Amino acid sequence: MNVLWPVFHDPSYRPAFGERLTFHWKANLRMLRHPKDIVLFSLISFAPLLLLVSFTRLFPDLFRAVSTPTNPVPNMAPLLFTTLVTFVVFLVLQHLAFVVAINLTYVPHVRSVLLDRGVPLCRRCAQLLPPHAPDSACPECGHTESLATMSDSGPHGVDA
Ligand SMILES: [Zn+2]
C-alpha cells in the first residue's frame, strides 16, 4: 500500500477527464451503499484530530504564553514554535491517515467500477492486465480474480 498517495489504477491507464469524473462519481455512489466503509473512513480520517485535541489537553502548558510580574510581556517565540511544530506534525499525520483511509475504503470501489466498465486491471495492485487473458494471474502481484471464485465454487470450479 502506498501511504503517500492513493493509487486508484495503473498509471499507464490514462482516462480522459470526463471518464475520470464519471468513474469517481460512480465509485462514490458505490461506497455510499457500504456503510462499513464510510464508518471506517471517518474513524481513520478523524483520528489525527482526536490526537491533536488530546495532545493539547495533556500538555496545555506547551500552548500557553506565560507572563510574570518581572516580565509582564510574555515571550511569544516558544509558543509560536510549539504551535507551528504541532501544526506541521498534525498535517503530516492527517495526510497519512487520509491516504490510508482512501486506500482501505475507497480504492476498492474505484477498481470495482473500473472492472465493471471493462478496464482490465488487477483488483489488488491495479496493474493493467492483458485484455485477451483476463483470468490469468497478475504479472505484478500474482493475484488471480478466478482463484477467489474457484474457492467459492468448490473443487469442480477448477475444471470449469
Ligand atoms: Zn496485481
Cα atoms found within 13 Å of the Cα of residue 33, Cβ hemisphere only: 6
In this model, does residue 156 exceed pLDDT 90?
no
In this model, does residue 149 exceed pLDDT 60?
no
* CA 154 to ligand 1 centroid distance, Å: 24
Kindly report, residue by residue over 85-144, the tens digit of the pLDDT.
Answer: 999 999 999 999 999 999 999 999 999 999 999 998 998 888 888 877 667 788 888 888
pLDDT of residue 134: 62
As a whole number of angstroms, the distance between CA 91 and CA 88 comes to 5
Record the pTM: 0.78
**How many Å is the Cα radius of gyration of the chain?**
24
Provide the pLDDT confidence category of residue 157 given band limits of 50, 70 and 90: very low
* CA 114 to ligand 1 centroid distance, Å: 14
pLDDT of residue 140: 87
* CA 135 to ligand 1 centroid distance, Å: 12
Which three cell numbers mark 111?
Answer: 477498481
Q: Which of 11, 34, 1 is nearest to 128 (CA)?
A: 11
Kindly report, residue by residue over 38-69, the tens digit of the pLDDT.
Answer: 999 999 999 999 999 999 999 998 888 877 78
* CA 122 to ligand 1 centroid distance, Å: 5
DSSP state of 73: S
pLDDT of residue 129: 86
CA angle 46, 126, 123 (to 5 degrees): 85
Contact 84, 75 (CB under 8 A): no
* CA 25 to ligand 1 centroid distance, Å: 24
Residue ranges of alpha helices (H) inside 33-154 are 35-58, 77-101, 107-116, 145-153
